[in-house]
Structure 1
């Protein structure tokens, strides 16, 4: 099977990876809210990613995987800083002053930003995708009018987070990262170390954590990082940008249901409308394109997808 055929079809591996990022990452917004109830935001993330990265790195080295080269460590640090520090880190900071439901809804614009950033590396954005971007921005406007009850800083962080995440995701396709799961391990180690250093530099306050925060941290480490993050990086390397970020279809729904059902959060009619408009824009962006049949076009698309 050619690389183009693999990227154009929903293989079992791609379907499994999608299912993991859809469901698991949808639950992590509520998990973050619980974890930072008694743990410092950046410090919690630093510990989370360092633990997950160390476990995965140790397992892979035990299985005989080669250690990353200095060049690969530098690339992993860049991706880890953008995705884990800029993406997850900013969301975690924002959740001190915003609900997990609203945070997930804001992150739903990730496929829209991915379509924009993909153009930096020569990937075409079609008319339907531009329409989807416009529809998604209307949804964000509705969300800000009706549901974004947060401080100006939290609102800014929730807009900046998906920009960092999607830019890092698109750039990672063109960086010399370690192969396979070793890339995820190196990114989590580098990103976790940077987050922990930032936490110490900002003198975040550490106190005795509650049992609920520790259980949430364990869940985020194992499922949110080891499992789902590795699945996401597989999608980034093997699928179109819009499909790789299509977890935004389901994540907000899962997060809203958990936030409302378990966290005592609420959502107004305008909030549900905003969620529907955002998801409609995402669907327009991520809807599969027709697969070209000419050899040159297929080869070019494959090269971009495998980059």
Structure 2
């Protein structure tokens, strides 16, 4: 075989390799990212509910984000992303990590000790409503007619949801509901903040720093509250699998997709995950954990999601 044929064959092989290694188009990445935050995040309510029945909430969240951050930095290194970070980016990562993962996740998981996962997911579906209010307060954006209708429907849906005696049974339940709304407010502000904040360009690096910082903060809170830390070796198989899925899919895949979307599309479009997450959570909670699915909850869900539709579909 002569040299020209060898070079020709090598060129074809390299061309095929280049074809496979071409970067995925941004539109495809955006679609995949939306699928991740729609479906995967909808299932995390169930996974967190399973894990928090055995593990303390802040310990659970700290361990989850610790291992997630290690894996994220490893993936960033493999893909050649720049790991370095400026002081401004570190400060912004601290703010976002606290709002998203300490307040938005750690406290939320703690509240799941007292609430059904599907019920909590429906409360979380009010997220776009709070995003809209934040944007009104921060960016001074005037509310359109559709937005006002959406807010009204959201308030009605929330009332129908939290007024059910089947769910609001004692003071602990009321505290759980209150804490979830605190989480939603913090999460909503963080979403608006991230869209403009100076953060590492790589979603892997950005999410990795946020989770690493959150892990430390959650560990401090856990020790301060006197939570018991246990070895994964003694966890039940259900909790182990829940933690693995939360780390790989809930943290790495979905949260990286979330950070990516906040930089690529509007905050309001990212908030549309609130359409799908509660439905996925309600079905899984009912099917796997035999959680209650009342007629009033279904009506509240329809009204809440209708409100979310009006908020997120309004013209700019």
Does the alignment reach a TM-score above 0.5? yes
Q: CA deviation at 1:64?
A: 3.1
> Counterpart of 2:279?
253
Match of 2:43 among 24, 27, 35: 27
Match runs of 1:56-75 below 5 Å = 56-66=72-82, 67-75=84-92
Quick check: 1:81 aligned with 2:98?
Answer: yes
Moved more, 85-94 or 204-213: 204-213
State the shift of 1:261 in Å. Answer: 0.3
> Residue 279 in 1 paired to residue 308 in 2?
no
What RMSD over aligned residues (CA atoms) do the two structures have, in Å? 1.6
Q: Where do 5+ consecutive residues of structure 1 fail to align? A: 1-9, 291-307
Q: CA deviation at 1:122?
A: 4.2
CA shift for structure 1 position 65: 2.3
Q: Which residue of 1 is the match for residue 260 of structure 2?
A: 234
How far apart in 2 are the matches of 1:121 and 1:14? 25
Number of equivalences: 281
| Mapped pair 1:205 → 2:222 | no
Q: CA deviation at 1:63?
A: 3.5
Answer yes or no: is the 8 Å Cα contact 1:128–1:285 preserved in 2.
Answer: yes
List alignment gaps of at least 5 residues for structure 2. Answer: 1-25
Per the TM alignment, residue 169 of structure 1 is displaced from its structure 2 partner at its CA by: 1.1
Contact 1:111/1:241 (CA < 8 Å) preserved in 2? no
Separation of aligned partners in 1, 2:309 and 2:178: 25
Cα deviation per residue 1:184-221 (whole Å; 9 max; x = unaligned)? 11111111221122112211123432111111011000
Q: Following the alignment from structure 1 to structure 2, what is the Cα–Cα distance between the partners of residues 90 and 37? A: 15
Please report the TM-score for the alignment, with normalisation by the length of structure 1: 0.87
Q: Is the 8 A contact 1:98 1:154 kept in 2?
A: yes
Alignment of 1:1-307 (within 5 A): 11-66=27-82, 67-119=84-136, 120-146=138-164, 148-149=167-168, 151-181=173-203, 182-207=205-230, 208-287=234-313, 289=315
Task: Quote the Cα distance in structure 2 between the aligned partners of 1:19 and 1:193.
Answer: 30
TM-score by length of 2: 0.85
Q: Where does residue 301 of structure 1 map in the other structure?
A: none
CA–CA distance in 2 between the matches of 1:62 and 1:74? Answer: 25
Alpha-carbon displacement from aligned partner over 1:63-120 (angstroms, at most 9, x marks no partner): 3322112321111011010011111112101110110011100000001111111220
Shift of 1:124: 4.5
